[in-house]
Structure 1
Amino acid sequence: MKPADWIDGGMTPPRRLPADTDAALAYLADTLGHVVYTRWTLATIRSRYPSLAEAKVAHPAVMRQLLDHAVVIAYWDRGLVRTSAIDDAPTPEVVLQRVLRTHRRRFKLSSEAGLPAATGEPIQEASRETTALATVPHLLIAWLARAGRFANVASATNTLGVGNDAQAAALFLRDRACRSPHTLRAYRTELRRLVTWCEAQQLGPLSDLTRHNLLAYRQALRKPAHDAVDDRSGPVAETTQARALAVIASLFRYWTETGYLIANPAAGLVHGGRSRASFAPQRMLPTALLAACDAWVTEATNDIDALVIARRRAIWTLYRYAGVRLVELVWSDGAQLPRLEVDCSDDSECWTLHVLGKGSKTRAIPLPALCMPILKTYRQLRGLPPQPSPYEHAALIHGLKGGSLHSSGLYDEVKAIFAASAERLEKTDHAGAMRLRSASPHWLRHGYARQLVVEHQVPLPAAQALLGHASVQTTAGYAKTDLSQLRAFVDQTFSDR
């Protein structure tokens, strides 16, 4: 395959790669913001740097190789910059193909991108609705492939541009749930639950349901008949009821806001304020157990590769001191997030983590100074400069087999830290070890929030912005996890009596 057969879908409009291999490699290095394939000689070093000492600081691995070889190649491989003598390095063509495959969500062959290789003219592209239908369970598509009396199919205000509930539901799942596989699975379950109830009540399609129908569904969730909402006997749990109603309310709100429905029959179906007001997280680790995990992460070396250790420390540091959700450290090609940003002023470095949160909302989280050396070490072992550039497009956390580390890998890394720390504490603190083994990465987010709200009394709006909560009531819920402030107020009030 020639470089010109590939299309860069990240540009507007999409752009074909240069036909020459060297030019294509230069283009990739410029657009991705990291080394792709660079040929180094002593002459090249002297032309780019005032002295060999400065070159050694900037490219230590290259300078070590140049002591024994006339030509050294620095190339991108599986999220890392590697250096080898030219005889040992892969060819430019091989590196080019590997990088394009690694970034296959952005770079596609002409046939895959809908562009003929010869002319470069766009051909008819499959509709986004057809593509999105893949996210809907196949058994539901036939039942959903209708439009009810409240569907706004022919109107220009139907911004979804679809003609039935199946397509509209697919776009809802894509826009509101596809960021997390767990959320997508939960939304599918609740969609199937509502359809099952509608079939039992001989109602449907969904765009035909009235407010009276949805109130009846809510009542059925609370006291389900044996053949209505669920195949299992007995009442549906309160948490399941809340989730089911929240998903359905979100579906109809999305359809109304996008113009697919002329009105929202689910308005007021969920009283979110009451559930948020009762929120009081309990799953978090005490300071002593967090300190034990910190100590293990700092001391752990064993015989593990230095890069693997550095990556684990970086992952732990970001979850521990940024309070992010698990999925918020998963790389998104479309948004180019998460990423690090450095602001250097007054001889100080200020690092900020930018993430993509719930509802595709971006959030900026300032990082404490103790994170910087850990992140710098990890970046340098990957072959990246210590400080990220504004034009860098490398995944924040790389995968050992290429690309980026996904949510399951991130989860496993944090759980490995909990397990190793628990093993160390087993003999001295059995209860603490058991608690560590039951912990998950989200417990670190709860601990971060509690440290802000309870221990340091950060103003609730500021804590809300750092945590990315939709409601300040959720942030305030962390204050309920500690009675020390209330006890102090009581003691001060009645101390003179």
Structure 2
Amino acid sequence: MERWLDHGVAPAALLPERIEDALVYLTHALGHDCYERWTIARLKQTFPSLADAKKSKPKIFQLLLEHDEVIQWWTQGRLLTALASDAPQPKAVLAGLLHTHRRRFKVSALVATVDDQVDEANRWLSLIESRRTDTLFTWLARSGRFVNKDAASNTIDAPDDARALILFLRERASRSRHTLRAYATDLRKLINWTRDHGLGPLSDLTRNDLVAYREMLALPRATTGASGEQKIKRASDSTQARALAVMASVYQYWFDTGYLVANPASGLVSTNASRNTFSSSRFLPPTVLAACDQWMVDTSQEQDIAVLRRRAIWTAYRYSGVRLAELAWDALRNLPRVEVDDNGGWTLYVHGKGEKKRAVPLPMSAVAPIRSYRVARGLNPDPSSYEVLPFIHGFKGGALQAGGLYDEIKLIFRSIAETLKATDPGRTALLEAASPHWLRHAYAKALVVDHRVPLPVAQSLLGHASIQTTAAYAKTDLTQLREFVDLSFKQDVPR
């Protein structure tokens, strides 16, 4: 029988051999019930009275009035309840939990087979192309004309582009999951363009090839909107600059480490762009935000867990200003998570840029939607301090990641846009173009412009590395600046 190791504790601990004992271990390790067998006798032993049992476990109490045994088990981010005859077997529940938390619980190396070991190349390359990793590896596992064949000066000892690219990602991008995700996205653009033009591998591209890629990034392209109509869209200057910066970084790393004998990207990308020029124009006007808030009011009586989950996602982005990926579950850090202090205040903790943990107090208006969603999952309304589970669960198991979170917010925008389509085409178009990051801009504007929160405080809440980025939001609205000027020179006005 396989033995499993819990790598979430130090030193790593073996799970008990008996299935029932292993499930008890997981209950304590994960901070929520995993598999519980309830009878009337156990209710009497657990609670001071049957009245307390009825109040705490109403569904279980009701079922036990007519049946001998009820099972509660954790699956796909929810605690479900059913009669013992309808519930899954403990072994199946345990297998599902171990699979969901496979980054933490692994088969002990003492009994693991080769098939149990995760291939490093597939793990890294799946970040770039998750569905066709084998095809991508085959395409990359070659060496072009600029590869250094001298093993003595090829300091990373990479035989082909696949290995060289993995080493680049590990060394240059792995310190932050946000950086890693961004690098993977831009590398996918470069690789897809190279394959589409019958070129490659990457170490075979010439300077002229990279110039052609740079020109392609600036070209407008046709996109299909939610309504099915085609639009011509051009990538923003910042999107182009980021894609070129990643391209240049790869070739510079390969050249510096001796994998390449020449750098075809040298001088193609300017690295002197100042961060002080940041200025966001992607805002939802107050009337559009009001329409979005009205959607929350209109859906407040919904009991469907899909709608409750969507409301919780919207609430988190709307009232915390987090980045898209900061709401995606990180099992190794147990983030994001919500904690409740002794005074009933809720705080959202996320893993931000620069490997920094950030605390964002949530307003009381954000509490009710999150509580309702937790109750629908079978959890206590308020999270406990020892809870270890995704803030937003996936319906197929595990957690909803950045792509799924993005889709949920876009679905809200589209549903609101549909209600405005006949009467307000301008706001409809704005909602169709909006993304979750616009809510971050709205949060920042509310802090800096609307409520004049001190810049260091706003910087801390937003997780900006530079206070100049935070201050840039004041440029987006001249109203406050005009008011400051008027107040400053009020007495100097000629009478």
Structure 1 pair 48/186, CA: closer, same or farther in 2 (3 Å)?
Answer: same
Distance of 2:20 and 2:169 partners within structure 1 = 42
Separation of aligned partners in 2, 1:376 and 1:68: 30
Which ranges of structure 2 fall in alignment gaps of 5 or more residues? 129-135, 158-162, 220-236, 260-265
* d(CA) in 1 for partners of 2:253, 2:18: 47
State how 1:364-443 maps to structure 2 within 5 Å: 364-443=359-438
Distance 1:465 1:253 in 2: 34
Match of residue 212 from structure 2: 230
How far residue 143 of structure 1 moved from its aligned partner, in angstroms, is: 3.5
Report the CA distance between 1:125 and its aligned residue. Answer: 7.4
Relative to structure 1, the CA distance from residue 451 to residue 233 in structure 2 (aligned partners, 3 Å threshold; closer, same or farther) is: closer
Measured at CA, do residues 204 and 323 of structure 1 come closer, stay the same or move farther in structure 2, by a change above 3 Å? Answer: same
Give the conservation status (yes or no) of the 8 Å contact 1:8–1:106: yes
Matching residue of 2:308: 310
Q: For residues 350 and 253 of structure 2, what CA distance do their matches in structure 1 show?
A: 24
Instruction: Summarize the alignment of residues 72-151 of structure 1 with structure 2, pairs less than 5 Å apart.
Output: 72-110=70-108, 114-116=109-111, 132=124, 138=137, 139-143=139-143
Identify the residue that residue 132 of structure 2 maps to in structure 1.
none
- Cα distance in 1 for partners of 2:345, 2:182 equals 34
Moved more, 178-187 or 52-61: 178-187
Retained in 2: the 8 A contact 1:132–1:174? no
Flag the 1:330–1:124 CA change in 2: closer, same or farther, 3 A.
closer
Letter aligned with residue 458 of structure 2: A
Amino acid in the other structure paired with 1:168: L
| Paired residue type of 2:271 | V
Instruction: Note closer, same or farther for the CA distance 1:37–1:204 as it changes in structure 2 (3 Å cut).
Output: closer
Superposition pairs of residues 171-190 of structure 1, within 5 angstroms:
171-172=170-171, 175=174, 179=178, 181=181, 183-189=183-189
Distance 2:419 2:153 in 1: 62
Shift of 1:480: 0.7
Question: Contact 1:399–1:405 at 8 Å: present in 2 too?
Answer: yes
SS at match of 1:230: helix
Separation of aligned partners in 2, 1:70 and 1:235: 66
Q: Does the CA contact (< 8 Å) of 2:30 and 2:388 recur in 1?
A: yes
Specify the code of the residue in structure 1 equivalent to 2:368.
Answer: P
Q: Alignment partner of 2:24: what SS?
A: helix
Aligned residues: 454
Q: Secondary structure, in 3 states, of the residue corresponding to 1:19?
A: coil
SS across alignment from 2:74 = strand
Are 1:129 and 1:171, in contact at CA under 8 Å, matched by a contact in 2?
A: no
Q: Measure how far apart 1:380 and its partner are.
A: 1.1
Is residue 173–residue 187 contact of structure 1 (8 Å, CA) maintained in 2?
Answer: no
Secondary structure of the 2:394 match is coil
Kindly provide the CA deviation profile for residues 20-41 of structure 1, in whole angstroms up to 9, marking residues without a partner as x: 1111110111111111111112
Q: How does 1:28-39 map to 2 (within 5 A)?
A: 28-39=26-37
Amino acid at match of 1:368: P
2:458 aligned with 1:476: no
Which residue is 1:67 aligned to?
A: 65
1:241-282 Cα shifts (integer Å, max 9, x gaps): 532454367669999999x9xxxx99x96234x2x2221111
Cα deviations across residues 309-353 of structure 1 (Å, max 9, x unaligned)? 211111110010011111111112222211111111xxx211111
Partner Cα separation in structure 2 for residue 16 and residue 257 of structure 1 = 44
Structure 1 residues 123 and 9: alpha-carbon distance in aligned structure 2, compared to 1, 3 A threshold: farther
Q: TM-score, normalised by structure 1?
A: 0.78
Q: Rate the CA distance shift 1:231–1:80 in 2: closer, same or farther, 3 A.
A: closer
How high is the TM-score relative to the length of structure 2?
0.78
Q: Is residue 245–residue 270 contact of structure 1 (8 Å, CA) maintained in 2?
A: no
In 1, Cα distance between the equivalents of 2:218 and 2:452?
A: 38
Cα deviation, residue 368, structure 1: 0.8
Aligned to 1:456: 451
Residue identity in the other structure for 2:27: A
Q: Report the Cα offset of residue 75 of structure 1.
A: 0.9
- CA–CA separation in structure 2 for the residues paired with 1:282 and 1:245: 23
SS at match of 2:211: coil
Q: Which residue of structure 2 aligns with residue 212 of structure 1?
A: none
Unaligned runs of 5+ in 1: 159-163, 207-216
Cα pair distance change 1:231/1:441, threshold 3 Å: closer
SS at match of 1:82: strand
**Could you list the per-position Cα deviations for residues 354-395 of structure 1 after superposition, in whole angstroms to 9, with x for gaps in the alignment?**
112224332111111111122111111111111112221111
Determine the structure 1 residue equivalent to 2:440: 445
Residue 272 of structure 2 is matched in structure 1 by 271
Alignment partners' CA distance in 2, 1:91 and 1:127: 32
| In 2, Cα distance between equivalents of 1:19 and 1:413 | 40
TM-superposed CA distance for 1:192, in Å, is 9.2
Change (3 A) 1:25 1:463: same
1:289 has 2:284 as partner: no
Alignment check: 8 A CA contact 1:284 1:443 kept: yes
Partner of 1:487: 482
- Percent identity, please: 43
Cα deviation, 1:435-469, whole Å, max 9, x if unaligned, reads 11221111111100110111111122211111112
Q: Is the 8 A contact 1:398 1:404 kept in 2?
A: yes
